[in-house]
Structure 1
Amino acid sequence: MRFRDPISGTITIDVDPDRAYGVLCDPPRMAEFAEETVAADWLGGATRAAVGARFRGANRHGRRLWYTRCRVTDADPDRRRFAYEVATPFKVPICRWQYEVEDAPDGGCVVTETCWIRAPVWFIPFAILITGVLDRPGANKAHIATTLARLKAHLEAA
């Protein structure tokens, strides 16, 4: 896996696709299932996913804590796609996250989570210093698997 390649994971969940989308497009709720994100709060009066809505993410790795600013780029319940771009508080681009929900052939749904790292090369040493993560693509791949497994357990248990 190269640094700029998309990082992705997919899982089948035995739940209505619209219900899965409803959770995926709610960043404060998704923080419950994420490995690194510990909280997300809507900004500027936003209360739900809509293109242009912004939220702040709080992230933790070990004892390190950092914040990001995120802007929703896709919030399409008909296509069941939710995506947002992440930047530092100083507006340095970091990545794009995208969630897609499709009907599963035998019922339920298939959820795909994808991340594209977009940090400029000059920022990578600072990102390592801030987060303590040396292998960001590998970490994101593992975090996606964890998030999807937790999401599946939650949705199927309800």
Structure 2
Amino acid sequence: MPFEQPIATGRITVNASPAAVYRIVSDPTVMITFAEEAYRARWLGRTTRAAVGARFRGYNRKGRRRWFTNCTVTDVRENERFAYDVDTPFGLPISRWQYDITPAEDGGGCTVTETNWLRVPPWFIPLAIALTGTADRPAHNTRNIATTLGRLKAHLEATHEDQPST
């Protein structure tokens, strides 16, 4: 990765099992319902679930702007980590997204950490700003991560999906 430090990260504790959280974060077609900028995802090829090397397309919007990216799953550790790299439609690296799930120390749920790294070459940044309308990507992604994680928590706790006993 050209940039070692993440540009955005967020963390939330959820009263749900790591398995319940993983089922959602590892399925982009479901996770997309909690996102802010992304609004649709679909697996590419014959893939229907997370596996290293599996690909999906993500559709994004901001105001009237619309664009899509191609994503490749890079990490699949059931109930622990799901990550993928994002590229432009013509194969230029853009970013990496990662979800880490750790059981709470007291056995009451788990902590979900969402992290984003920028992978785009510096020369492409002005084009990305023009395309997306977002000049401050780190601040924008930090806000979006907080929104996404909040919605994920609300969903899991409202549905009582695999909540640990306390």
Please indicate, yes or no, whether the TM-score normalized by the shorter chain is above 0.5. Answer: yes
Unmatched runs of 5 consecutive residues or more in structure 2: 160-166
1-side partners of 2:155 and 2:40: how far apart? 17
Q: Which residue of 2 aligns with 1:110?
A: 111
Task: Report the equivalent of 1:89.
Answer: 89
1:23 aligns with 2:13: no
Q: Distance in 2 between matches of 1:90 and 1:110?
A: 35
Question: Structure 1, unaligned stretches of length 5 or more?
Answer: none
RMSD of aligned C-alpha atoms? 1.1
Where does residue 134 of structure 2 map in the other structure?
Answer: 133
TM-score by length of 1: 0.95
How far did 1:5 drift?
A: 3.0
| Aligned-pair CA distance for 1:4 | 6.4
1:32 aligns with 2:33: yes
Corresponding residue for residue 44 of structure 2: 43
Contact 1:42-1:54 within 8 A present in 2 as well = yes
Spell out structure 1 runs of 4+ moving beyond 4 A: none
Could you tell me which residue of structure 1 aligns to residue 99 of structure 2?
A: 99
* Cα distance between partner residues in 2 of 1:75 and 1:120: 26
Q: Is the contact between residue 4 and residue 118 of structure 1 (CA under 8 Å) also seen in structure 2?
A: no
| Distance in 2 separating the partners of 1:114 and 1:27 | 15
Look up the equivalent residue of 1:118 and give its one-letter code.
Answer: R
Separation in structure 2 between the aligned mates of residue 4 and residue 137 of structure 1, nearest angstrom: 14
Higher deviation after alignment, 19-28 or 4-13? 4-13
Paired residues, number: 155
Name the CA distance, whole Å, in 2 between partners of 1:92 and 1:4. 18
Deviations 1:96-115 (A, max 9, x none): 00001110123101000000
State the identity %. Answer: 59
